Chains A and B, each alone.
Chain A
Amino acid sequence: MKKTLFSFSPRRFASVVVKEFIQMRRDRMTFAMMVGIPVLQLVIFGYAINSNPKFLPTVIVEAGQSNFTRAIVSAMKNSEYFSIVKEAESEDEAEKIMKRAEAQFVISFPPDFSRELAKGKRPQLLIQADAADPSAVSYALSAFEGIVNSALAKELKGPLAAIGVKNGPVDIRLHRCFNPEIRTQVNVVPGLLGVILTMTMVFITSLAVTREKERGTMETLLATPVKPLEVMTGKIIPYMIVGYIQITLVLGLAKYLFNISFAGSISLLFFVAFFFIAANLAVGVTISTLAKNQLQAVQMSVFFFLPSILLSGFMFPFRGMPFWAQCIGSMLPLTHFLEIVRGIILRGAGLGDFYRHGIFIVAFLFGIILIGLFRYRQTLD
């Protein structure tokens, strides 16, 4: 026994090596994936990921402009952390924008801000941050006070020079919305819901048609009068149920294990999830019509899954990514689903707040089903 375990013939060994090389060369797809996946990872990690996001959309609520407020706003722009997207009329309006996740910050100047400042009364300056993803806002927030103080220092000259020397000229109030305790779980756990669905749904169904091809059962199916749409939808439906079991599980754990409270409607989340699950299943089925065998199906799924997890805003702040990466990210259903899930769970968003993301997912679903139907071969040609 021992002897056979350690005996080694260079000739036998070489034969195995040669055979492996031949097979590797024949399976072009696997080889391409082995080269393609590292390149993809390198590009995404190297270029797309930026944990110090800049140009974050900011809304200003300003009552009465003055040199002081103008100086602060322009200093914020110059810092590159903030990009002023809108000047809101009221706090209410600003709040709605934040709920739609269209702004990361709301900066509110109280009505008599400039007068109080000039009197040296340290007026309040409120900065509200969408802290659902704490890492997205932390750099900007820590820079904020310095930006305000240095901007005002230039304006407070002559008789006003003494103002704020001790405590700073303004009383900066920071309000972290949606995640006041700055817990990472609050952001990650709802995000995981989308990631888990993407992973399992795409993988499971991508194997579905390829398995039939490999086992030869596809020939039986094709010989019967069954139609492509019947096969595709028939394969998707059972996994929809699996998807819903996963959602229930993740939400249950989020609530009872991670103490995440749900700000919005869970039934709305279940409704939207239908289209998201279906979209992922359709991706899987479509992959399996393209792949020649189960290994290729798995590799293609990885090729879809990897950008989904890296560019959707799940792992790294979406707003920190360069424009091209955001463009790719916007083509992935997970990106939009994450916006919806975080919107519902953390911000209490309603259908009206994220309908655009919903429309994308539905459009994606139908697009993919169309490709799948087109690719589905009714013959063995």
Chain B
Amino acid sequence: MGSVNDNKYVIDVRNVRKSFGPKLVVNNIAIQVKRGEIYGFLGPNGSGKTTFIRMLCGLLTPDHAEGTCLGLDVLKQQDLIKPRVGYMTQKFSLYEDLTVLENLKLIAGLYGISDARNVINGITEKTGFSGREKQLAGTLSGGWKQRLALAACLVHSPELLLLDEPTAGVDPKARRDFWEELHKLASEGISALVSTHYMDEAERCHRLAYIAYGNLLARGTIREVIEEAGLHTWRVEGANLSILAEKLRKCDGIEQTIVFGNSLHVTGRDKQRLENAIKPYLNESGFSWMETGSGIEDVFIYLTEKKATDNFK
């Protein structure tokens, strides 16, 4: 673990804990995000992602937390952290009855930007809002709203972006554009913590953390996460896969089966036991079997299920 003032990390926190009433929502999570890094924050709905991000930007008070954000104490120096962080809420939360320009001017004012006009001009140009400045934010489409929200985050030139499911409910093209923009920002040295529950977006992050039920289940690069899980996966193609899945799930050595459209992923922890389990079906007609590497999705689902059963034990 790096020292508290290690400049390498823009986020270096540990033992972050928060509960609402009796419910523990974030359970001793620790993450480290390097400067200029896009750090993915993945997990199912209700896993504590939003709560964690809100604690980092001072919107919620943690029950317990240690460490630093931008080299500042996460608990005691919130006032100094806020002006250097750009936070994008999950739900569009700019003023729908203000225009694009009015929204950006407001944000610039709240951060006390002195040459607001130049800054905003630069940002509207960069984010493609030139010509749309006078449009009411409420009349923008989902993709443009998201783009405006990102623009608003950038007005005060933050060093760190905290983006809470920025791509939820946005079409694939807008998502792709968004990620390109994010990588461009990263190359300029702006770090980002991005929460999402789209598995494919995991691959666009430099590193990621996976949390479920408030617990950190895995972290690292995608390859590290997959390797660490140590799973083996076979893919089956054919008809009536759900009936096959039903049978396989009961077999010893098979941890999980996941249907992906026309194929089925069969996953186990022990290579030999997995092969023994599927042997009776290997030569059944109508199915074609192939051994593949485990994907990040197989790993995440496995980790989530395992944590859920652990919790009930």
Contacts and interface: CB of A to CB of B under 8 A. Distances in A.
A380 B91 contact: no
A165 interface: no
A299 B185 CA distance: 47
Contacts of A263: none
B83 interface: yes
Interface string B90-101: 011111100000
A221 interface: yes
A225 B59 contact: no
A381 B54 CA distance: 10
Chain B interface, DSSP helix/strand/loop, else mixed: loop
Contacts of A226: 110
Nearest to A216: B93
Contacts of A216: 89, 91-93
Contacts of B79: 225
**In the A-B complex, the 7 residue pairs with the closest CB atoms:** A216-B93, A224-B110, A223-B87, A220-B93, A226-B110, A380-B59, A216-B91
A215 interface: yes
Nearest to B87: A223
B111 interface: yes
B96 A223 contact: no
Interface string B66-85: 00000000000001001100
Contacts of A225: 79, 82-83, 110-112
Given A215-B96, A217-B94, A217-B95, A223 B111 contact: no
Nearest to B20: A381
Given A223-B87, A224-B82, A380-B54, A217 B60 contact: no
A219 B93 CA distance: 7
A322 B87 CA distance: 56
Nearest to B112: A225
B57 interface: yes
B107 interface: yes
A122 to B, nearest CB: 74
A160 interface: no
Contacts of B95: 217
A293 to B, nearest CB: 16
Given A219-B89, A222-B58, A379-B58, 8 more contacts: A216-B93, A217-B95, A220-B89, A224-B111, A225-B82, A225-B83, A379-B59, A380-B60
B61 A379 contact: yes
Contacts of B94: 217, 220
